Amino acid sequence: MVGDFNQLSDTVVPQRTGLTQIVNQPTRGSNTLDHIFESSPIYTGVKVVTSTPKSDHRAIIAYSGSQPKDINKKRTVLQYRPRTPDQHAAFLAHLSHMNWDEVIDITDTQTAFDKFYAIVLSLLDRFYPLHAVTVTNRDPYFVTPKIKSLLRRRNRLMRRGRIEKADSVTKRIGQSIVDHAKVTFSSSSRGSKVLWEKVRLITGKNNSDQCLDHVTVEKLNQHFASISTDQHYTSPLAKATVPVAALSSTFSEYHVFQCLDHLKHTSAGLDSLPHWFLEMGAPSFYLPLCHLFNLSLTQSVVPTQWKTSIITPSPRLNHLLPVLITDPSPLFLF
C-alpha cells in the first residue's frame, strides 16, 4: 500500500493493519508524507529522489537488488567570499591609511550611517570579492561552498603532482568539516531534544506526524501584513526620548573596539557585513562606529539599516498554530 498519507499518522496504519512502513526519508520538505507499507520484506531498500514531473513531493524508488543511480542531479550555484592571508594583509594595510573624517563630520544620523555602510561595503567587495561555486544534491550535508572550493583546489593540485600542497589543503578540509560539525551538533542549554532533531534532519528520519500543508510562506506574509499595516499611518515628528542623565554615559572608543574584537559568528545581521570582516577591521572601524552610536543615542534616531528583521514562521504541530521568531539585525543593541 503506497500513497500520500498527509492527514493520517504513519503509526495508525501499522497498528490497525500490521503492515510495515519502509520509507525513512523526507519526501516533502522536511516531512515524510509519502509512505510504502508492506506485509512482508519484499524490497531490499528505498531511495528518495527528485521527482521528474514538476511537484513539491519527491519520488520514491523501492528496489530489490543493487541500489539504482539517481540521474536527476540538481545543481545549485552559491556565492561565498574566500579569505586568504594575502587578502587580510592588503585589507589591513589599506585600513592603516584610512581617514574617516567624511563620516565623523556628518551630524545627521541616517546620512552618517548611509555613508559608513557605503564605504565599508565597498571595502568588502574590493578586498574579498564574491566567488561562485556549484554544489549538487548529492553532496553531503557538511559540504559548504568553502569546502567545495577547497576540494576542487585539492584535485587541481593532485593532477599537477603537487602532493605536499594538496595534503595541506586536505588538512584544511578536515578541520572545516570538524568546525561545521561542532556548530551543527554543539550542545546547548535547550537539552538533547534539539540535538536529536538535527540528527534526524541530517539522516532523513523525521518523526513529525503532522504539518501545515495548506499554509505557505506567501499566505503567512499576506496575513500578517494585512493585520499589521495601518493604512492611515503617518510618520511622527522626531523627538528626544533619551533622558538628559543618560547622555552622560555615551559609548567610548575602547568599548566599541572591545565589542568588535569579540564578535561571535552569530552576530551578523542583514547589513551584509560578516562578523569576521568587522572583527578584522576593528582597529579602524571602532572610530567611526563610536561616533555613529553616540550620534544615534543623542539624537534618538535608529537608522533604517537596523529596522530590518527576519521573521521565521515556526509551526506548533500539536496545536497547528504558527509562532513567529524575530531575529533583529542591528550590529549592536543598546
Q: What distance in Å separates the CA atoms of residue 211 and residue 213, rounded to the nearest whole number?
A: 5
pLDDT band at 242 (very low <50, low <70, confident <90, very high): low
Q: Is the pLDDT of residue 201 over 50?
A: yes
Q: What distance in Å separates the CA atoms of residue 297 and residue 249, rounded to the nearest whole number?
A: 10
Secondary structure of 264-316 in HEC code, one letter for each residue? CCCCCCCCCCCHHHHHHCHHHHHHHHHHHHHHHHHHCCCCHHHCCEEEEEEEE
Same domain? For 88 and 180 the reply is no
Same domain? For 303 and 263 the reply is yes
Q: Which residue has the cell 541616517?
A: 110
- Most confident among 2-16, 190-204, 235-249 (mean pLDDT): 2-16
User: Which residues, other chains included, contact 152 with Cβ-Cβ below 8 Å and sequence gap of 6+?
Assistant: 133
Calculate the average pLDDT of the chain.
79
Residue 203 within a domain: yes
Residue 68 within a domain: no
pLDDT band at 206 (very low <50, low <70, confident <90, very high): low
Residue 180 within a domain: yes
Length of the chain: 334
Lowest mean pLDDT among 119-133, 141-155, 172-186, 273-287: 172-186
Provide the residue type at 90 as one letter: A
Same domain? For 125 and 144 the reply is no
Same domain? For 54 and 163 the reply is no
Q: Is the pLDDT of residue 20 over 80?
A: yes
Residue 98 C-alpha cell reads as 584610512
Q: Quote the percentage of the chain above a pLDDT of 70.
A: 78
Residue 231 within a domain: no
Q: Are 67 and 47 in contact (CB under 8 A)?
A: yes
Closest C-alpha among 247, 246, 250, 282 to residue 263? 282
Residue-level pLDDT at 243: 59
Same domain? For 274 and 202 the reply is no
Same domain? For 124 and 252 the reply is yes
Number of compact structural domains in the chain: 3
Same domain? For 19 and 29 the reply is yes
* Structural domain for 28, as ranges: 2-63
Same domain? For 314 and 251 the reply is yes
Residue 73 within a domain: no
Choose the final residue of a domain: 28, 63, 98.
63
Closest C-alpha among 294, 307, 296, 298 to residue 242? 298
Answering whether pTM is above 0.75, one says: no
Q: What distance in Å separates the CA atoms of residue 138 and residue 71, rounded to the nearest whole number?
A: 11
Residue 232 within a domain: no
Q: How far, in Å, are 52, 59, 117, 258, 303 from residue 331 at the CA level? A: 44, 43, 12, 14, 11
Q: What distance in Å separates the CA atoms of residue 50 and residue 27, rounded to the nearest whole number?
A: 9
Same domain? For 319 and 252 the reply is yes
Instruction: Determine the 3-state secondary structure of 4 from DSSP.
Output: strand
Q: Is the pLDDT of residue 101 over 90?
A: yes
pLDDT band at 333 (very low <50, low <70, confident <90, very high): very low
Residue 118 within a domain: yes
Same domain? For 112 and 258 the reply is yes
Residue-level pLDDT at 292: 93
Which position has the higher pLDDT, 320 or 125? 125
Q: What is the pLDDT of residues 55-100, one digit of tens each?
A: 778 888 888 887 777 666 778 888 888 888 899 999 999 999 999 9
Which position has the higher pLDDT, 187 or 175? 175
Residue-level pLDDT at 265: 77
Same domain? For 192 and 241 the reply is no
Same domain? For 221 and 117 the reply is yes
Burial of 217: CB neighbours in 10 Å, binned 0-12, 13-18, 19+: exposed
Residue 78 within a domain: no
Burial of 295: CB neighbours in 10 Å, binned 0-12, 13-18, 19+: buried
Q: What is the pLDDT of residues 281-330, one digit of tens each?
A: 999 999 999 999 998 888 888 898 888 776 666 665 554 444 444 444 44
